[in-house]
């Protein structure tokens, strides 16, 4: 851990060279992407994390919960546009019952039987367990039966509890998030893992976060990709303290520490195209996807860009890599 900490505090060029070497061994000159869309079924949330610009209180102006029919309509439209994958998340809202979550999945599956469905965060899944009085592993079984193919990695934030109490005090603890992911992996669901950085965390807490993910991956092998997410201040009172240099160092360090993860994904919705190209030289191998209708990052100030497959492929090729169309399960 000390070596990782020294690298994070040192020159980005040393980190980048080491990370690129490992990235090349794993993926040669390939860079992955997908054609996907987001269906955010609700922004009504009871957690109301201080870091969040997206959530709304029940009854607040702008708060919404999509009906299953509205979800179905969106899924059909995205299928017609050529999406291969649907990413589904929402707020932590205890007035939605388990059947709602299952019906959302069934509606998306009915809209296109070939969709790769990535839903929901483990924070939402734990809520489903509580409101239904079912064990978490049973909730995962029902989600798989309804049509879920994988889980996203959201909600990890930073595992250190002193930080979580300030940025996400009502969400799962770091250990609860890790335990829920372990249960998901045992149920046969592969997942991503995230880290939100660039707020009040220290380098030591970043390294601790990465090593906790590495340890769980050694136990389960259930993580597909690590997704570093730069914090955007948006409407939050917590200030953002990231930079392009820090983005590069976080990406490169993740590639080195998480050598038991196959992929490092840097979603193009969170980084501009030019930085995205540089990140591919600092250990990343996956630029995410088109992610049509993304709302969460956009609410915090990310650019809402209308990307298609050609635009992403052009970005990858201009960086010197060969684009590979896939999905979040890496089915080429």
Q: To which residue do tokens 């050694």 refer?
A: 218
Task: Give SS3 for 163.
Answer: helix
Inform me whether the pLDDT recorded for 306 exceeds 80: no
Share of the chain above pLDDT 90, in %: 86
Q: What is the pLDDT of residue 301?
A: 63
Tokens of 260: 């038991």
Q: Do residues 307 and 288 touch, judged by C-beta distance below 8 A?
A: no
Rounded to an integer, what distance in angstroms lies between the CA atom of residue 20 and that of residue 203? 21
Return the closest-CA partner of residue 70 out of 40, 90, 99. 40
Of 62, 74, 71, 61, the residue nearest 96 (C-alpha): 71
Q: Which sign does the torsion angle of CA 101, 105, 111, 115 carry?
A: positive
pTM for the structure as a whole = 0.95
Identify the burial level of 284 via C-beta atoms within 10 angstroms of its C-beta, where 0-12 means exposed, 13-18 middle and 19 or more buried: buried
The beta strands (E) that lie in 167-318 are given as: 190-197, 223-230, 263-264, 286-289
* Tokens (6 digits) for 117: 């469905």
Contact by Cβ (8 Å): 94, 62: no
Q: What is the 3-state secondary structure (H, E, C) of 28-52?
A: CCEEEEECEEEEECECECCCCCCCC
pLDDT of amino acid 235: 76
pLDDT of residue 181: 98
Q: Is the Cβ–Cβ distance between 208 and 168 less than 8 Å? A: no
Decide if 224 contacts 263 (C-beta within 8 A): yes
Q: What is the C-alpha to C-alpha distance for residues 235 and 124, in angstroms, rounded to an integer?
A: 23
Residue 152: pLDDT band (50, 70, 90) is: very high
pLDDT of residue 302: 66
C-alpha dihedral over 17, 18, 19, 25, to 10 degrees? 110
Q: How confident is the model at residue 295 (pLDDT cuts 50, 70, 90)?
A: confident
State the average pLDDT over residues 48-53: 88
Query: How many other CB atoms are there within 10 angstroms of residue 211's CB atom?
Result: 15
Per-residue pLDDT reduced to its tens digit, 212-259:
999 999 999 999 999 999 998 777 788 888 799 999 999 999 999 999
Per the prediction, the chain carries an average pLDDT of 94
> What SS3 state is found at 240?
coil
Is the confidence at residue 303, as pLDDT, over 70?
A: no
Residue that the structure tokens 């992403």 belong to = 312
What does residue 89 show for φ and ψ, rounded to 5 degrees? -145, 170
| pLDDT at 190 exceeding the cut of 70 | yes
Q: What is the pLDDT of residue 236?
A: 79
Give the residue with greater pLDDT, 125 vs 301: 125
Q: Phi first, then psi: what are they for 264, rounded to 5°?
A: -115, 115
Strands of 95-149, DSSP E: 116-119
Q: Residue 298 is inside which H or E element, if any?
A: helix 296-299
- Residues 195 and 155: beta-carbon distance below 8 Å: no
In angstroms, the CA 28 to CA 12 distance is 21
């Amino acid at each position: 851990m000390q070596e990782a900490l020294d690298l994070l505090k040192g020159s980005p060029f040393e980190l980048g060279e080491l990370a690129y070497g490992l990235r090349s061994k794993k993926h040669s000159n390939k860079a992955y992407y997908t054609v996907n869309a987001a269906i955010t079924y609700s922004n009504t949330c009871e957690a109301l994390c201080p870091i969040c610009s997206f959530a709304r209180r029940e009854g607040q102006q702008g708060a919404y919960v999509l009906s299953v029919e509205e979800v179905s309509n969106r899924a059909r439209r995205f299928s017609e546009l050529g999406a291969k994958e649907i990413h589904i998340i929402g707020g932590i809202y205890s007035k939605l019952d388990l059947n709602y979550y299952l019906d959302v999945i069934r509606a998306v599956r009915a809209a296109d039987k070939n969709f790769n469905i990535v839903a929901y965060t483990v924070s939402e899944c734990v809520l489903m367990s509580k409101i239904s009085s079912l064990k978490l592993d049973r909730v995962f079984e029902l989600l798989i039966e309804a049509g879920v193919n994988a889980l996203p990695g959201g909600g990890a934030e930073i595992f250190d509890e002193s930080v979580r109490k300030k940025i996400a005090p009502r969400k799962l603890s770091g250990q609860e998030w890790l335990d829920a992911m372990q249960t998901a992996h045992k149920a046969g669901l592969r997942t991503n893992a995230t880290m939100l950085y660039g707020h009040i965390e220290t380098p030591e807490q970043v390294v601790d976060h990465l090593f906790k993910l590495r340890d769980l991956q050694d136990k389960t092998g259930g993580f597909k990709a690590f997704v570093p997410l730069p914090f955007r201040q948006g409407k939050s009172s917590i200030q953002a303290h990231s930079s392009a240099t820090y983005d590069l160092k976080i990406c490169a360090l993740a590639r080195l520490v998480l050598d038991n993860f196959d992929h490092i994904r840097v979603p193009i919705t969170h980084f501009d195209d030019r930085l995205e190209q540089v990140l591919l030289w600092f250990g990343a191998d996956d630029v995410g996807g088109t992610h049509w209708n993304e709302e969460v990052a956009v609410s915090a100030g990310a650019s809402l860009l209308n990307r298609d497959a050609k635009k992403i492929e052009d970005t990858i090729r201009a960086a010197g890599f060969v684009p590979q169309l896939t999905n979040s399960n890496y089915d080429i």
